[in-house]
Amino acid sequence: MSGWNTIQRIKRIEEQVDALGFKFSKPRHGDWENEERSLSLVPKDADSLPIYNREAELYIGSLEQLETWLHGVRWARDYDMILKLGDDEKRAKAEQKERNRQLVRTLKEGKRVEGSVEYTWMKRRTQ
């Protein structure tokens, strides 16, 4: 079967991406080096990766580069667990805390609030 290994590879990458809370998307701003072969990763829904805006493109590049990037993410998470700085349980608690903060803010403002990375960075920078 021609291309079977490629299909299996893409499915495996898709599972890893989904487990991290991402989904594949077409890059909005493009990867100028590999424009026709590039893809991007965005948060998969409103509940996953609550700190990011739904419009955030967290990765742009080729499938081959994505495998390397995912390997780096796994390595960083494993290293944090070795150092006892973080684990899946702590990460889940922190994400839920952010979801709760956004819910309270949404109720106060009357419109959906999501992803505050840009806001908090800008706020800290201007102070």
Taking residues 44-65, report their average pLDDT: 84
Query: What CA–CA distance (Å, rounded) separates 123 from 127?
Result: 6
Residue with tokens 């829904």: 45
Do 59 and 52 meet the contact criterion of CB atoms below 8 Å apart? no
Decide the pairing of beta strands 59-61 and 22-25.
unpaired
19-55 residues labelled b (16+ CB within 10 A) or e (exposed): ebbbebbebeeebeebeeebbbbbbbeeeebbbbeee
Q: What pTM value is reported for the model?
A: 0.72
Residue 116's pLDDT band (cuts 50, 70, 90): low
